[in-house]
Amino acid sequence: MYRSIIVAVDVAQLEKGERILQKAVALLDQGGRITLVNVVEELPTYLAIDVPTDLMGAARKDANDKLQELRDRAGVSATVDVRTGAPAHEILGAAQAYGADLIVLASHKPDFSNYLIGATADRVVRHAKCSVLVDR
C-alpha cells in the first residue's frame, strides 16, 4: 500500500481519469493522500503570438474545475494540482514535491516511436524515483 499517490489525469480523457483514480484509492494506505495532477502544456513562442493572451489561464481554470469535479464525483479527498509545462517533467516534479511513493497514469495510444506505451508514460516510467502504475 502507498502513503502518497500522484494521479496524473488528462482532462481530455476523464473516463480514463476516473478509472485510474479508483485504482489509486484501492492502493492507498489509511491516512494516505492522493494528489490529482494535470499539466497544461505551454505553447511554443511562435504560436503564442497568435492566440488570445488569456488562453493559458482559461485552460488552467478549466483543468482545475474538471479535476475538482472528478474528485467530487469519486467521493475522495484529494489535492488538485494544475501545472504548466512539459507533462512528464511536471508529473515527476509533482511526485518529488509531494513525496509520492506511487504515480498512477493512463497511457494514450502510442505511435511508432513509443510502441508499447505513450510518450509521457514512457518518460515518467524511465525517470521516476518511485513506483509507477500505467493503465492501458
- Mean pLDDT, the chain, rounded, equals 91
pTM as predicted: 0.90
For residue 17, the model assigns a pLDDT of 97
For residue 110, the model assigns a pLDDT of 57
Mean per-residue pLDDT pooled into runs of 10, the chain (136 residues): 97 96 97 97 73 83 98 97 96 98 86 63 95 94
- Cα 123 vs. chain centroid, distance in angstroms? 13
What structural domains does the chain harbor? 2-131 (3.40.50.620)
CA 11/CA 20 separation, integer angstroms:
13
For residue 63, the model assigns a pLDDT of 98
CA 90/CA 8 separation, integer angstroms:
10
- Phi then psi dihedrals of residue 95, to 5 deg: -60, -40
Q: Cell 508499447 appears where?
A: 116
CA 73/CA 22 separation, integer angstroms:
11
For residue 49, the model assigns a pLDDT of 67
